[in-house]
Structure 1
C-alpha cells in the first residue's frame, strides 16, 4: 500500500502527543522509566520499562556500576547517581564503563552498532552533563543532534535530487535511500562544520563546494520509536533535532561514495523521489527531510498533498520535553 504524506511523517514521529489525547498519553507513559542525572532537575530521556529492568539487573550484578546507578521501579526512574557537582568527564567515565561492559556481555542488541563516537547530553541552559557512546543514545532516550543535506541539480525547469542508497551491510536501515549527506554532531561541533565533514566523508564533496553553495534552511525535530529497520532494540525512543541544508550542485559536481556507508548515488527525478517515498524506500527521518524539501520547493502543496497543513504546522517540528540546545549556524 502506498504511503500518504502523514504516513511518512508518522513513521518518523510515532510517539504520542499529550494534547491529542491526554488519557492515552498518560497511559502510554506508564511503560517508561525516565532517565535523570543527580544534580540536574530535568528529565533527560525515556527508557522502556523492560529495558530498565535489564539495565537494573546488570548494574546490580556489577560492583562498580551498582555504586553509580539508582533504579526506582515504583517511581519509574533511572538515575546516574554521581556526585551532585560531578564534572562532565566524571559522569562520562561511569557511563562509558557501564556501556562497555554491557557491550562485552551482549546485554543490549542496540550496542552491536557501537561507533566509538561520543554524543553530548545537555541539561538546562545548555549545560553539558556528560558524553555518551552514539549507539547508546536510544538506550537512554536522550536527544541527538545532526545535519541532513539534500543535494539537487537544476536543468532548465527540471529538478533532480542526489539520493544515496545505503550499504546493505549497515546495521541501521540497510539498503534504504538516504539524503545526500547526513551525520551526527559531536560535542562542541557546529552544524556547518559537521556538514563539511560529512560531505567529504560520505559523498566526496570538497569543503570549497559546501562553503560556497550549502544553504541552511531550518531544522526538524521528532521522537522516533525504533523498529526492526533501525537495527537492534525495537521500541527504544530516539528524540532528535536535525539541522537541514540544501545545496544546489552543477551538473559536473557528482557525489561519489567515499566510505562503506553508501553503495551508490542516484540522480532521481522528482517523480521518482515521490514514488520512492510512497513505497517506503527512504530511511525514516530522511523521508521527512524529502517531504520538507518538496514542500519548500513548491512541489507538494495544500492542493495536491492531503495532510499538507498538519504536516507543515506541527508534525515536523515537535516540541521536545527534554532540554535542548541551539547551535549557531554560520551562514556560508
Structure 2
C-alpha cells in the first residue's frame, strides 16, 4: 500500500468539516492538558464556541474523502506553533523528545528523530519517497530545521525527492500552486511509495484576516482544490495501474477567530487525521483508531501500510542525549526580543 500524507497548515477542521466534527465527541475538548507555560489564561479552552454543524462544508474534496473514509480527532500539545506541530506529526515524537519548541528550532534533536519518509526508507531501502513543501523549514537544509531528513545520497540515486516552493510572488497562494503542480506531476507519473505534501495558504489567511471571516473560508476552499488535484493524481494510478493508495490529511494547528495560535485554546489545539483508501476498506488499525495525539500519527500510519520499525525506540538508552534540558523555554520575558 502506498501512502500520500497531505499537511494543510493552520486549518480549523470545525469550519472545514462542521458536520462530522460536531457529531464526534472526540473533537469537543482536548484529551490531555497543556503545559501551563503556554496557557492563554482567561481566553483559553473555555472560550472556544465549539464546532458549528449547520451549513454545507466549504471543502468538498475533504468532505468526499470523509464520506468514503474516516475522520479521526487529533489533539496537539502546546505550544501550537508550526515547528513543534509538524515536528511531532512527522516524526512521531513529543516536544521533549525532538527538542522543537519554537519555529526557530533552537536546540532541536531532529537528526535523532527520523521522519515518516526516513523511517520507511530505513525499513526498506528500496522504497521511493517524495516531499514537496511550501514552508522551507520542513525540508530546506539551509533553514532552521529541517524536519524531514534530506538524505542526499538517496536523492542522487533518485530514491528520495524533495521540492521546496520558490514562487512567493503572491505569498503562500502562489507557493501552494507551485507545490501542488510539482507534487501532482510526481504522484501521477512516478508514484512514490510514500509522499508528503505541505500547503500553507490557510495559515497565511488566518494570520492576515483571522478565521472568522470570508477570507479564511476562501483560503480553505483554495487548499481543498489543491487536495483534489493531488487525490486525482493518485486516483488515476489506482484506476489505470491498480495501485493501492492510502490518503491521509492532517493539520498542525487551528486559528483563533481573531487570527494567530501558539497557546492552548481548544480551537487551535484541535487537529484531525482524515483517512481514505483507494483500493479497499481502511486497514483494521485505522478503522479502530480512537482519539490521537500528534506524536501517535506516524506510528499509526506506518502500521497501516505494513512498515515495521527496526530496533529504534524513542526511549531506548542507546544514543540518548543527556546534556540538554528537554523541558523547553522558560517563557521568561527577559529573553523575548
TM-score by length of 1: 0.28
Q: Which has the higher helix share?
A: 2
Q: Which has the higher strand share?
A: 1
TM-score by length of 2: 0.28
Structure with larger RCO (C-alpha < 8 A, sep 6+): 2
Answer with 1 or 2: which has the greater Rg.
Answer: 1
